[in-house]
Chains A and B, each alone.
Chain A
Amino acid sequence: MATSAFKEEEIDSKFSMRVWAKTFKYILCKWPLLVLLCIAMMFTSFYDASFIPSMNASLISAFDSGQLAGYTDIFQVIFNVKILGIGFSINFLSYIIFYIIMIILRSISVFITFLTMNYFEMLIMTSLRRDAFKRIQELSFSYFDRTPSGWLIARLQNDAANIGDVLSNSVLRVFWIFIELVFTLITMFSYSWLLSLIILATTPIIYIIVFIFQRWILKLSRIARSAYSEFVRWLAESINGNKTIKSLAIEETIYKECDDIASDVCNKRFKTGKVNAFFNPSINILSAITTAIIIVVFPLLDIDDGTTSTIAMMVLFLGFVGSIFNPISQFAEIFAELISTQANVEKLFMLIDTKPELVDKPEVIEKYGDLFNNKTANFEQIKGKINFDHVSFSYKKDLEVLHDLNLEIEAGTSLAIVGETGSGKSTTVNLLCRFYEPTKGEIRIDDINYKDRSVGWLRSNIGYVQQTPFIFKGTIKDNIKYGKLNATDEEVINAAKVVDLHDFILTLPNGYNTYLKDAGNELSQGQKQLISFARAIIRDPKILILDEATSSIDTETEHVIQVAIAKVLKGRTSIMIAHRLSTIVDCDRILVMKDGVVIEDGNHKELMELKGYYYQLYMNQFKDLNLEEQIKTYNKQIKDKKVNL
């Protein structure tokens, strides 16, 4: 449903070969199959457009030309067959055998045709998805800031499937129809060029009718479709909001809305249906008129090619009217489909062709490998010292969110950053993880600019815990192992023990192999967060980043996490973002940020004594206690932390 939030793009009515050429490369690399497909299509077309009419014509001619007169035994009758202008004679038995063989051959061709066409569909679909998925893994964060995931899913699933379908069922079919048309034309002209021209004379009219109708119908059905997707969106919303609807007792109001929207869909669909109703009949009438013309002119013309009788000729050409008319209306239909899919192709390739903004320098890739192929042998041991050297950053041009940050974090120490939303604390962490790169200044890890080492090197040394814990579909073990894919069972258990999750996991019926689905809703928020801690710990990272990792947890669970954090931080450089101050009072150093600059820097004791912004934030927490309690709690703090005021 996420895609419906986007307005459906207007149709680009011009067919663009350039757009489609990109998709053809997936097909062209399998050219032997294409050749096979081509042969199969040619045979099928030959059967339908040339063989069958010719065979029937020779049968009917046999009666007319008086050939039958002399025979008493039907098996002695000789048929004069003329296929594609080549004439030959066969007896009745051979005629039947010929017929049967051709039917079998045609079936084989049809089998090959359908299977290869579908194979191509699958090939395009999976190749597009594979390429797009790979590209998504490479893209930098700035891309995901701009692009909703619903849009991406729609590209990968709907568009890729659509394009595969259109290419195999439309483009290849156009080709097929074209071959069939060629065979029909050759067969027609080999019998009588005059009648052929009469039939062809009407085709421009059909083309115009078809063209007008297709455009009209396409436009209307788009309107109807978007009305329907609006209905589905509305429906999903109303079902999700059911509890609210009930508790506000507004069922009547909502039902009225439903009526409005459903009526809108109904009316728009009906409008399309009305136009559609005129389409096929008008083609049928036109083909009847053509048939009538042939009947009228027929006796006036002297048509004789020597082997085919007048009646056979008549029957043949009545049939040709259909064989010419059908392909043309199909052409138009397919063309309309192609144009409506063109936008999808463009959008999907927009994704596939996006260049990642954040890539390592060639010499770095040379030494350390790229994202997909790390040369871990060349990775240097990390100590964990971090320097921000005059670092500034802006997500959008001219909108700097971090101003000239200078910061040195000693290896093995813990740093907390506090501040309001928009103060630049998340940006600082994002830069450190190299989700983004500084727009000015540089960040050094162990005194080396991190751009001189690979992204893979950096990330292999980082443990990262985000605000909302993420649970992958899989077992608990899989989820922990996600931090270190080749971890042994022992390592998994150790990681779980560090965060005090081991005992809990053992109480589950399947222990570490408990399968978590529905985003881990079987677990509490706190347990989920502990799993993500374990996931970060199993990497044994030198740098640990907790990005608001305790925000979404209630007071009691927070206590458990607090204990886990204390254990986890040992021996690592850690950066913690928190808005609950209770989590950070024990950090070696606390940074207070506001509007993209550091305004206070020191440990809890120092900052409290400073009586500045941090002091205010801290005191705010007691705001609602009555005076007596405030003083009591505050004094307790002072005693515990030896703050000197």
Chain B
Amino acid sequence: MIMIKDCKFLYFFYFFLLFLSVFFTITSSYLNKILIDVLQAQENIGGIGSTIHDISALGNDANILTVFFVNIFGGIEFLSSNLWMFAILIVGFALIAGINIVIRLIMRSYFMNKMSKNLQLLLFSHIERLPYSKIKGMKNGDIIQTCTRDEDILRRFAGPDLTLIAYTFFIVLLSFVFLAITNYMIALISICILPFMFIYSFFIIKEVRRRYRKTDDSEGNMTDKIEENLASIRLVKAFNNETYEINDFEHYIEDFREKYLHWRKLSAFFFASSDIFVFSQIALTTIFGFVLCFDGYISVGTLFVSFTFVNLMVWPVRDVATVLSNLARAKASLDRIYLILDEPLEDTESGLTPPIHGNIKFENVSFFFCDSNQAAIDNVSFEVKEGQTVAIMGKTGSGKSTLAYLLTRLYDYTSGHIYVDGVELKDIKKSYLRKNVSIVLQDPFLFSKSIKDNIKIARQNADEKEIFLATSISQIHSNILQFPNGYNTPVGEKGTTLSGGQKQRVAIARTLLSHAPVFIFDDSLSALDTETDYNIRKALKEKADRSTTFIITHRIATAKDADLILVLENGKISEMGKHEELIKKEGLYKRIYEIQTKMG
């Protein structure tokens, strides 16, 4: 239902048209029957072209439908002497059916694409607003799969698949009704094998699909293998392991081959065996129709029309079994979509918007990841004044980044208090907070846009002067000017590849442009060489409106000028103070300091 919310009426009207279309198909086939009966009657009377006066000449089964149609189109005398009427009727029906199909297909295309767009937007806006901790727990690949493959499966289900189901239902129903009105025996014979075929197909297709999935997995493994090989091609060559790689790849090929043939054997068997049902149904109708005709129960025209109807019915019934056995897949896709949509959104829009200057106070702050009972941040307390610089050091995994994420509320602290200018952090509106506490991430992300657009993505109305100022502080201005298109050089997947250090500096400029009172550099200076690192810090200090700055770093040189240095070990502050104090104490800071200055 989420799929059709904007086009419910269209959707049902579409199925109504489908019904009409089937109705026309059936009717025009029925006209052929009348034509044949007329011809037959004429032959019996005195050759083609002779006029028939009585409708009962059309055979024993000249029923209400025949009478109805014959009368509509001018009566039996008129029709039999004007065979061209049939030609006009057939073309007329085809025209109406054609127009119907055109309208129907356009409608289908419209609502399918509309649905698809709505679902894509719905999913994306939801994903975008999930709490960070939630997204981190999901695999990016899975999310993308849901937005593309699952969405596609649902779209196809709502479009072609449901159409086929409805079409089959209508055609079986109408064919049966028309035949039953003509002669109930031929009607029953025409559909007697269909249920068996349906059940047979339904189950065998399930197995076919299971084997297909295994083949697909095997192909996925093969892709992984190729990716690995390409990523390690230097090693492969340096170690002269080419033969080993080729032999190893052969295992994947062999596995794929085996699974593929296993799958295809059954699918070929399915087509062959269900063809037996299909043709048995056709043959049965032909032969029994003949017997009925021989005994005078039905006319030749009826024999013909039943034959046509059987051909109309058998193929879709087989296909519908295929679609229905696929229902579980559509269901699974829907479940995966709801798995995302049912996640509660992050509330970024409610809360206080107090003025923020940059006085920050941590008071016994602890944080636990939801799946862990060990504190990632353990009872941390410290205080920073407006405009000061704090350096955070510690080993990988000691909680440095987590501490930074707490400040921007990518994570929410479990206990204790953080005060920003005296206001409890949790009470502040998230979107407001993030505009004011600006973080440069360790692995900054640039969008596939021009450098300029990347820098001003958070402040679209920034002018050139401001941009240049930000890039000058982050020491990237002159580099950008060296690119062929300067600030308009596209970056990211589709453009120039920037080095890690260049990316960092663009990201720093992007953050600086926000003029936030609090900056956090999450290890973002370490990809830069010492000189650039130094220059950036110097420029930051000289900036007119000094912001409170947090710098997470490995480098003593970067940390040593800070007003406050925090050393984290397992989420706890193990040392805290200024450089001069810390190098006098035995501890991690002193050890790192010694290693870094000893130089061998």
Closest residue on chain A to residue B263 by CB atoms: A118
- Distance in angstroms from B489 CB to nearest chain A CB is 16
Q: Once the chains bind, are B239 and A235 in contact (CB under 8 Å)?
A: no
Q: Considering the complex, which residues of chain A in the window 414-450 have a beta carbon less than 8 Å from any beta carbon of chain B?
A: 433, 435
Q: Once the chains bind, are B94 and A433 in contact (CB under 8 Å)?
A: no
7 sample A-B contacts, Cβ–Cβ < 8 Å, listed by A number: A119-B264, A134-B246, A243-B410, A251-B128, A269-B113, A285-B95, A625-B557
Chain B proximity mask over A130-166: 1 for CB below 8 Å, otherwise 0: 1001101110010010000100110011000100000
> What's the Cα separation between A482 and B232 when bound, in Å?
11
B-binding residues in A (CB < 8 A): 1, 4-5, 52, 55-56, 59-60, 62-64, 68, 74, 77, 95-96, 99-100, 103-104, 106-108, 110-111, 113-115, 118-119, 122, 126, 129-130, 133-134, 136-138, 141, 144, 149, 152-153, 156-157, 161, 231-251, 253-255, 258-259, 262-263, 265-267, 269-270, 272-274, 276-278, 280-282, 284-285, 287-289, 291-293, 295-296, 298-299, 310-311, 314-315, 318, 371-374, 433, 435, 455-456, 459-460, 462, 464, 466, 470, 472-473, 482-483, 485, 524, 535, 539, 545, 554-556, 559, 581-583, 585-586, 618, 620-625, 629, 633, 636-637, 640
Interchain CB contact (< 8 A) of B494 among A5, A68, A130, A524: A5
Interchain CB contact (< 8 A) of A60 among B121, B244, B303, B348: B303
Query: Given the interface contacts A99-B287, A237-B448, does A371 sit within 8 Å of B240 by beta carbon?
Result: yes
- Distance in angstroms from A54 CB to nearest chain B CB is 12
Q: Once the chains bind, are A253 and B90 in contact (CB under 8 Å)?
A: no
Q: Once the chains bind, are A104 and B276 in contact (CB under 8 Å)?
A: yes
Q: Once the chains bind, are A237 and B492 in contact (CB under 8 Å)?
A: yes
Chain A proximity mask over B196-232: 1 for CB below 8 Å, otherwise 0: 0000000000000000000000010011101111111
Q: Once the chains bind, are A110 and B275 in contact (CB under 8 Å)?
A: yes
Closest residue on chain B to residue A264 by CB atoms: B117
> What's the Cα separation between A462 and B237 when bound, in Å?
11
Q: Once the chains bind, are B143 and A239 in contact (CB under 8 Å)?
A: yes
- Distance in angstroms from A511 CB to nearest chain B CB is 23
Q: Once the chains bind, are A633 and B91 in contact (CB under 8 Å)?
A: no
Q: Once the chains bind, are A152 and B241 in contact (CB under 8 Å)?
A: no
> What's the Cα separation between A267 and B412 when bound, in Å?
41
Query: Given the interface contacts A56-B286, A250-B458, does A464 sit within 8 Å of B239 by beta carbon?
Result: yes
Closest residue on chain B to residue A147 by CB atoms: B230
B75 at interface, CB cutoff 8 A: no
Residues of A within 8 A of B242 (CB): 137-138, 371-372
Q: Once the chains bind, are B87 and A296 in contact (CB under 8 Å)?
A: yes
Interchain CB contact (< 8 A) of A153 among B49, B227, B276: B227
Q: Considering the complex, which residues of chain B in the window 528-545 have a beta carbon less than 8 Å from any beta carbon of chain A?
A: 530-531, 534
> What's the Cα separation between A625 and B580 when bound, in Å?
12
Query: Given the interface contacts A266-B114, A276-B109, does A585 sit within 8 Å of B101 by beta carbon?
Result: no
Which of the 9-residue segments B12-20, B253-261, B353-361, B370-378 touches chain A? B253-261
Interchain CB contact (< 8 A) of B287 among A96, A236, A274, A282: A96
- Distance in angstroms from A169 CB to nearest chain B CB is 12
Main secondary structure of the interface of A (DSSP, over half): helix
A-binding residues in B (CB < 8 A): 32, 35-36, 39-40, 43, 48-49, 83-84, 86-88, 90-91, 93-95, 97-99, 101-106, 108-110, 112-114, 116-117, 120-121, 124-125, 127-129, 132, 135, 140, 143-144, 147-148, 219, 222-224, 226-246, 249-250, 253, 256-257, 260-261, 264-265, 267-269, 271-273, 275-276, 279-280, 282-283, 286-287, 290-291, 293-295, 300, 303-304, 307, 348, 395-396, 408, 410, 430-431, 434-435, 438-439, 441, 444-445, 447-448, 457-458, 460, 492-494, 507, 510-511, 514, 530-531, 534, 554, 557-558, 560, 592, 595-600
- Distance in angstroms from B505 CB to nearest chain A CB is 15
Residues of A within 8 A of B140 (CB): 236, 239-240
Q: Once the chains bind, are B395 and A556 in contact (CB under 8 Å)?
A: yes
